[in-house]
Structure 1
Amino acid sequence: MLAETSLVSTPPTVSAAIIATRSQYLEMFGKEECPVIGEPIFENKPSNDEYASDHRENIRLQRSFGTAAERARRNMNAKLANPLAGYTQEELRQQGINFAITHQMGDEEDVRAFAMGAMLAQVPERYAEVPGLTPQELAVLENEYAHRWSQPWTMYLVICLCSLSAAVQGMDETVVNGAQIFYKHQFGIDRGSESRSNWLLGLVNCAPYMCCALIGCWLTVPFNAWFGRRGTIFITCCFSAITCLWQGFVNTWWHMFIARFALGFGIGPKSATVPIYAAETAPPVIRGALVMQWQMWTAFGIMFGYVADLAFFEIQDPAGIVGLNWRLMMASALFLALLVCCFVFTCPESPRWYMSRNRYDKAYESMCSLRFNKVQAARDLYYMHTLLQAETGMKLGQNKLIELIAVPRNRRALIASELVMFMQQFCGVNVIAYYSSEIFLGTTGNSLTQLSVSNQRKALAASFGWGMINWLFAIPAVYTIDTFGRRNLLLTTFPLMALSMFFTGFSFWIPEDTHSSARLGCIALGTYLFAIVYSVGEGPVPFTYSAEAYPLYVRSHGMALATATTWLFNCLLAITWPSLRAAFTPQGAFSWYAGWCIVGWWLILMFMPETKGKTLEELDQVFSVPTRFHAAYGLRQIPYFFRRYILRQKIRPEILYERDDEVPMTEAGYNTA
């Protein structure tokens, strides 16, 4: 099979994963000409065993998984890994010049920048091999890799915008934690039957996440199409500010429900837009770390919500106003939202959004403000253009949602992505985030309406401690997620989260009459331990994993579905926790989520492939392994781990995704025909 075709005029940096048979090539395109940039060229070769033997070591051999159609799709996806692969420097230089002139960027300096940028875009790390660069340009390109956080001030402004936008969301989620201690009594939520009280409290809490899952997330695409990335962030933060203020003026539980439901229009589209905006403006060397910071700064906002609860806790009611303290808590989240609104338009718009509107001159202007020189800007803009052209050439179907399910490679990515999103909620983290004050207040034997101010303050202080730990331990995840790996992080942290949940639940059995301080301390300790392991594992992994698991042509649809999933189950947790705690008791309720952590560990072991450090074409190989093969492989890792790390036996790891030169190909299961 390998001797049938060969790839000509292809640099050694091009992955052999793009090699396909002539029949697969014709099946994809129906002609022999290269229809889009970067398409490989094929040439018939006579069978030559010596030739094949000489070159086999340089080829990553595909496993014999998948049909011919699936392999063809993998080859089509592979061209998205680098659409410029296979071109000579002179061809790229001319393409850059033509691009600049075609899109009315004909200034001599700009034309030269695109000529240099097109050559750089093929393999950016090999900037020293590109002829014609000035010493100053070479110094900037070298500094880009040596000091990756050395960026123009405009890029730092974008980082601040994305961080504050994440903090707005976190604060929107948690100011209600302390406010509900007071408003549920004022609104009569805690009167009547216990069942009614629990369901009303859960309904009010879950309102914004219900809106996100049902409506808010699905507004992301039209909002971005109409208003751009900055406009969407501005509008959603306006929604957040208005609804936060609105919540401070309500006087009934159903009025509070409506105000909080409207808050979902501010949370949903923003949660999907900000990571996209960060990815489209950041240079490649910091893109992953910047997108990762969404979770870290959301955790900061969660902590800041608890700070607001503590700050306004002791505010006394003036004449004519009942519940001023909780009203200020609920309204306080508007300040961060207003801050974002004030400076969002001082940041440049996403160049990719301008390109989608065919405004290449504005895209270039925007990119220039985000890079140190025009050559850098031209490089990134031209590469972005070639990716868009390659995506446009993907003719795999009309309905991308159907493609997610119908194409086996996409379906396996969907299963893994939805799994980690589901477990992000059903590990129980937001039970603590939304109800920690109620949980800590429940450590006494008194009715919640009879609690002293001291107990309420202690509960809010314990909640603040949880929020601070959740934020601080999200910082190491920026480094561990790319070194330890996504799957390994989850397999390590899920058992620890289960133990923390069991410890928290069992702490409620500590006698409450004489040891209430010990009881509160143990419960707080259990939730703090949970926050530590969650923040480095299941906290940052789901959004990162979902963003990279899908092929580019369905990535936005896959991310929209993943975001809707997390908000749907977020809503489910928020609405059911009060009733679950009443029905199961705190011990049973926390054990319920500990049990889900154990279930999640088994599901991740069997159904979640590792994506750390994989290129796009390598991810196609990873997700082309049939689900049953990966599940069996995951189960076999248990005895392997025991023998390797417990019994200290020297055994080789099993090869699943790609060739290992130390293992015979036939033993590894590769198709060498």
Structure 2
Amino acid sequence: MNNKVNVLRLTLVVALGGLLFGYDTAVISGATEALQSYFQLTPAELGFAASSALIGCVLGAIVAGDFSSRYGRRGALKIAALLFLISAVGSAIPESYWTFVVYRIIGGIGVGIASMVSPMYIAEVAPPKKRGGLVACNQFAIIFGMLVVYFVNYGIALIGTETWLNTTGWRYMFASEVIPAGLFLLLLFTVPETPRWLAMRGRNDEAYSLLKALNNGNGADVDHQWRDIQSSFKQHNSTSIVASGFFGVLVIGIMLSVLQQVTGINVFLYYAPTILKGFSNSSIDIALLQTILVGAVNLGFTVVAILTVDKFGRRPLMMLGAALMAVSMIAIGTAAYLNAIGGYLLIFVLLYIGAFALSLGPVVWVLLSEIFPNSIRSKALSIAVFAQWAANFVVSQTFPMMNDPQSSVYQTFNGGFPFWLYGVMGIFTIYFIYKWVPETKGKSLEELEELWEKSAKSAEEKMITNH
């Protein structure tokens, strides 16, 4: 083991899992018309081709906890990288619609695993004072992956004619994922396991040596951290979430995951062209507008979050962001209800995207990666991420129904209802964070366990006193 291990390098390697998360999710955006033409798809079949990866994401979240406990954080990421590779090749060569769907589901499983394990790995190797910013790098990588694939798809589309794109070009779009997936798999062989997983498996000498290397040989600090890690596993050796006494923490994690989604982010990520077209009669290419403006704002404010989350803390960023998101959604809903639609609403869309990128986007992942105790982290994080993908699915499926001009909800509220609903969820998010989510900046993962224990004991004492 080297005397020093560069934590930033480990973060950048593991964040490639986040980049592939974004890449795999968005790659189909440039191929939908070609797929419909090549496979002669009905609208329902096209919709399933686009959303089938989401099934894989849910499955990936379910197995990620077991994989990361059994094979290690690095081992689980290697499995995800291999699945990305298989999906990239398989999605590029099928001659039947259902073969294509199967390979998209395989890629989705990789996304589900990477979405959980990448931030967990980073949290387990990062120094406490830098953990928030380093974990937030994974969110930056997700957005960057989406932007990269938009331009890759655009470049491939320019190579040939529309006929070529519909018969052959779309295959290159999916095959292009082989490059980042192959690079991710190779680079994973250059990173170590996390010290906390090694300690969990009883490999204490390796764990201590790695912890020392990660902390640049700061002996006193390492000894303190090492004692806390060992104490954590001795005190909480149960892998049952209920038996461990941290079920309440799991509920908070699930709520954070769900609130990240039900405040409406994927409505703009998935349906932005439709929404923006409704705001303005401008002749500007709406798809390009979405890529440049929404993508740039998303990326830019994620950088702001990376630079500030360890300085200002998790709670202030989350509450400020949720407030701005709520204001934006309520303004958009009110404009729709009053039929005061216009290009000016793009300002509120961008304000919403920027607020999300500053807060619920990266910071929820930071909190999920750090709030769970060592002994149950894999299992609890897997459940929370499963809830996130399930909420993503519900929001993505219900928005088109609420936004259908033929629906009674749309006709009653003139299209404003879903935006009001997401705005109310934003207000509830502020209350939930204020009431239930403690500040975690600057604390080690083991110190956070003690914080939860004290909170639980305090709650029990209040209940006994009240009764």
Show CA shifts across 1:12-62 (max 9, x none). Answer: xxxxxxxxxxxxxxxxxxxxxxxxxxxxxxxxxxxxxxxxxxxxxxxxxxx
Correspondence for 1:430 among 266, 271, 275: 266
State yes or no: 1:528 paired with 2:342: no
Contact 2:129–2:310, Cα closer than 8 Å, also in 1: no
Change (3 A) 1:511 1:394: closer
Q: Which has the higher helix share?
A: 2
Contact 2:128–2:442, Cα closer than 8 Å, also in 1: no
Correspondence for 2:321 among 493, 497, 502: 493
Q: Distance in 1 between matches of 2:99 and 2:399?
A: 22
Alpha-carbon distance, 1:356 to partner: 4.3
Query: What's the counterpart of residue 73 of structure 1?
Result: none
Query: What's the counterpart of residue 210 of structure 1?
Result: 55
Correspondence for 2:453 among 620, 627, 630: 620
Aligned to 1:575, the other structure's residue is in SS state helix
Correspondence for 2:32 among 169, 180, 193: 180
Q: Distance in 2 between matches of 1:200 and 1:590?
A: 28
Q: Distance in 2 between matches of 1:324 and 1:367?
A: 50
Contact 2:328–2:352, Cα closer than 8 Å, also in 1: yes
Alpha-carbon distance, 1:362 to partner: 4.8
Query: What's the counterpart of residue 130 of structure 2?
Result: 286
Aligned to 1:347, the other structure's residue is in SS state coil
Q: Distance in 1 between matches of 2:12 and 2:442?
A: 27
Change (3 A) 1:201 1:275: same
State yes or no: 1:421 paired with 2:246: no
Contact 1:420–1:542, Cα closer than 8 Å, also in 2: yes
Change (3 A) 1:502 1:335: farther
Alpha-carbon distance, 1:566 to partner: 1.0
Query: What's the counterpart of residue 398 of structure 2?
Result: 576
Alpha-carbon distance, 1:475 to partner: 1.6
Change (3 A) 1:251 1:591: farther
Aligned to 2:56, the other structure's residue is in SS state helix
Q: Distance in 1 between matches of 2:230 and 2:428?
A: 43
Query: What's the counterpart of residue 144 of structure 1?
Result: none
Q: Distance in 1 between matches of 2:9 and 2:310?
A: 25
Task: Letter of the 2:269 partner, please give it.
Answer: A
Change (3 A) 1:320 1:308: closer
Change (3 A) 1:379 1:239: farther
Higher relative contact order (CA 8 A, sep 6+): 2
Alpha-carbon distance, 1:621 to partner: 2.9
Q: Distance in 1 between matches of 2:302 and 2:351?
A: 13
Change (3 A) 1:431 1:359: same
Query: What's the counterpart of residue 165 of structure 1?
Result: 17
Q: How many residues are aligned here? A: 453
Aligned to 1:260, the other structure's residue is in SS state helix
Correspondence for 2:235 among 388, 394, 418: 394
Correspondence for 1:473 among 288, 294, 301: 301
Correspondence for 1:403 among 221, 236, 243: 243
Query: What's the counterpart of residue 92 of structure 1?
Result: none
Aligned to 2:361, the other structure's residue is in SS state coil
Q: Distance in 2 between matches of 1:623 and 1:170?
A: 37
Query: What's the counterpart of residue 421 of structure 2?
Result: 592
Alpha-carbon distance, 1:262 to partner: 1.4
Alpha-carbon distance, 1:438 to partner: 4.2
Change (3 A) 1:629 1:227: closer
Aligned to 1:492, the other structure's residue is in SS state helix
Task: Letter of the 1:390 partner, please give it.
Answer: S
Alpha-carbon distance, 1:314 to partner: 3.7
Flag structure 2 segments of 5+ consecutive residues without an equivalent: none
- Quote the RMSD (CA, aligned, Å): 3.9
Q: How does 1:25-174 map to 2 (within 5 A)?
A: 154-174=6-26
Change (3 A) 1:156 1:427: same
Q: Distance in 2 between matches of 1:489 and 1:569?
A: 22
Aligned to 1:540, the other structure's residue is in SS state helix
TM-score, normalised on structure 2? 0.81
Aligned to 1:474, the other structure's residue is in SS state helix
Q: Distance in 1 between matches of 2:451 and 2:205?
A: 35
Task: Letter of the 1:534 partner, please give it.
Answer: F
Change (3 A) 1:361 1:608: closer
Contact 2:156–2:172, Cα closer than 8 Å, also in 1: yes
Contact 1:166–1:297, Cα closer than 8 Å, also in 2: yes
Percent of pairs with identical residues: 26
Task: Letter of the 2:32 partner, please give it.
Answer: Q
Change (3 A) 1:320 1:478: closer
Alpha-carbon distance, 1:497 to partner: 0.8
Query: What's the counterpart of residue 118 of structure 2?
Result: 274
Query: What's the counterpart of residue 147 of structure 2?
Result: 303
Change (3 A) 1:576 1:235: same
Task: Letter of the 1:209 partner, please give it.
Answer: L
Contact 2:123–2:369, Cα closer than 8 Å, also in 1: no
Alpha-carbon distance, 1:495 to partner: 2.9
Q: Distance in 2 between matches of 1:242 and 1:476?
A: 35
Alpha-carbon distance, 1:532 to partner: 0.8
Change (3 A) 1:510 1:479: same
Alpha-carbon distance, 1:577 to partner: 3.5
Task: Letter of the 1:168 partner, please give it.
Answer: L
TM-score, normalised on structure 1? 0.58
Change (3 A) 1:371 1:188: same
Change (3 A) 1:219 1:433: same
Change (3 A) 1:356 1:321: same
Task: Letter of the 2:329 partner, please give it.
Answer: M
Aligned to 1:413, the other structure's residue is in SS state helix
Change (3 A) 1:246 1:504: farther
Change (3 A) 1:201 1:624: farther
Query: What's the counterpart of residue 193 of structure 2?
Result: 349
Change (3 A) 1:480 1:592: same
Show CA shifts across 1:48-90 (max 9, x none). Answer: xxxxxxxxxxxxxxxxxxxxxxxxxxxxxxxxxxxxxxxxxxx
Task: Letter of the 1:470 partner, please give it.
Answer: N
Larger radius of gyration: 1
Q: Distance in 2 between matches of 1:176 and 1:437?
A: 15
Contact 1:201–1:578, Cα closer than 8 Å, also in 2: no
Q: How does 1:204-283 map to 2 (within 5 A)?
A: 204-213=49-58, 215-250=59-94, 254-283=98-127
Aligned to 1:341, the other structure's residue is in SS state helix
Q: Distance in 2 between matches of 1:525 and 1:315?
A: 35
Flag structure 1 segments of 5+ consecutive residues without an equivalent: 1-104, 114-151, 192-196, 447-453, 513-517, 631-669
Task: Letter of the 1:547 partner, please give it.
Answer: S
Change (3 A) 1:395 1:369: closer
Task: Letter of the 1:490 partner, please give it.
Answer: M
